[in-house]
Amino acid sequence: MKSSLQKEIQNPGEMMADIVICRELDKANLVINQFIKSCSHSMRGPLKSIRGLVNILKDRNPDTDLDPAMVIRFIEENTEKMEIILEELEPFMLNSSRETKNKSIDLDELILQVTTNFQKEIKKQAIDVTIQVQQPGPFYSDLARIRLILGHLLTNAITFQKAENPNKKISIQCSVTLNECVLSVEDNGIGIESDQHGNIFGIFYQATSNPHGSGIGLFIVREALEKMGGTITIDSQPGQGSIFKVTLPNLAAPALVHGL
C-alpha cells in the first residue's frame, strides 16, 4: 500500500495524463449521448409522417381524388431525410471515438480524391470547380479527419448553390507553412444570414429550408477540428455565397523528430 502510494506521488505526470484522458472520455460520451438523443428526436418526425401517409393509403377511398403517387413521393422524401441522418451517424461515431493519427499528407492528391467523389453532382449542376494548392514543404495531420472535413464543406458548397444561377462556382484553396495549413472552400451559392453564423455549427441546426441538408455536417466538422486543434471561420452573406476557412496546425516538425 505504501509503495503504491509512493509510486503515485512520484509520478504526478502520469496522474495528470490519466485525468486528461478521463476528461476527454467524459466529453466524448457527453457529445455522443447528445448526438444520439438529437438523432432520435429528428427521426421521430419523419417516422410519424410515414406512418400517417401509409395509413392514408390503407384507408383511401377509391372514389376520392387522392393521388397515391403523390403520397408515395412524400413517403420517399421522409425516408430520404432519415437516410441522411443515418449516413452521418457512422462518421460522427468514428470521429468521436478514434484517436488522432498524424501522417504526411499530399494535399493536391487528397483534394483531387475528395472532389472526384462528387463529380456526378458537380457535373449535374454544371459547377465550375477550381483548386489551388501551395504546399512547399511537408504537412502532417490526421488524414481521415481532413478528408471528412473537406467532404462536408464540399457537400455544403454543392447543396446550397442557387438553382437559377448559370455560373455556379466553387473554389478550393490551400496553403501550407511550417506552422499551419489554411484550407478554404468558397462558393457563390445562396449564402447565410450574418445573425445565423454562430448557430450553424450546432447539431441539427439548419440555416435554410433546403430538404437535402441534414444539419449535422458542420457539427461534425467542428468536432473533428476540436480534436485536431484546428479552427473554422465563416464569411457569408445572403445571395453572395460563403467562404469557410479552416486553419490546422502543421505537425510536421514533431512528427519528423519522432520518425513518423
Query: What band does 200 get if pLDDT is binned at 50, 70 and 90?
Result: confident
Question: pTM for the full model?
Answer: 0.64
- Which of 197, 202, 98 lies closest to 148 in space, CA to CA? 98
Percent of residues, the chain, with pLDDT higher than 90? 37
Is the per-residue pLDDT at 7 higher than 50?
no
- Which of 202, 204, 218, 214 lies closest to 80 in space, CA to CA? 214
pLDDT in tens, 178-189: 999 999 999 999
Query: What band does 26 get if pLDDT is binned at 50, 70 and 90?
Result: low
Residues of the chain with CATH 3.30.565.10: 102-257
In a 3-state reduction of DSSP, which class is residue 146? helix
Across 72-97, average pLDDT: 65
Is the per-residue pLDDT at 161 higher than 90?
yes
Better-scored residue on pLDDT, 164 or 201: 164
Is domain 102-257 classified as CATH 3.90.1200.10? no
Is the per-residue pLDDT at 248 higher than 90?
yes
Please enumerate in sequence order all residues whose Cβ is within 8 A of that of 5, keeping only pairs 6 or more positions apart, or say none.
none
Q: What angle do CA 112, 146, 118 make, to 5 degrees?
A: 40
Q: What does the alpha-carbon distance between residue 74 and residue 67 come to, in Å, rounded to a whole number?
A: 11
Give residue 105's pLDDT: 96
Check residue 196 and report its DSSP letter: G
Query: What band does 130 get if pLDDT is binned at 50, 70 and 90?
Result: very high
CATH topology of domain 12-97: Helix Hairpins (1.10.287)
Identify the weakest region by mean pLDDT among 7-16, 176-185, 238-247.
Answer: 7-16
Across 52-56, average pLDDT: 76
Where does residue 158 rank: exposed (0-12), middle (13-18), buried (19+ CB within 10 A)? buried
Is the per-residue pLDDT at 20 higher than 50?
no
Give residue 43's pLDDT: 62
With b for 16 or more beta-carbon neighbours within 10 A and e for fewer, the 131-157 pattern comes to eebeeeebbbbbebbbbbbbbbbbbbb
Across 126-148, average pLDDT: 94
- Which of 187, 175, 206 lies closest to 38 in space, CA to CA? 206
Handedness of CA 19, 20, 24, 27 (dihedral sign): positive
Query: What band does 65 get if pLDDT is binned at 50, 70 and 90?
Result: low
Identify the weakest region by mean pLDDT among 58-67, 79-88, 137-146.
Answer: 79-88
Handedness of CA 202, 205, 210, 214 (dihedral sign): positive
Where does residue 26 rank: exposed (0-12), middle (13-18), buried (19+ CB within 10 A)? exposed
Cβ–Cβ < 8 Å for 168, 216: no
Across 87-102, average pLDDT: 65
Give residue 85's pLDDT: 61
Residues of the chain with CATH 1.10.287: 12-97
Give residue 257's pLDDT: 47
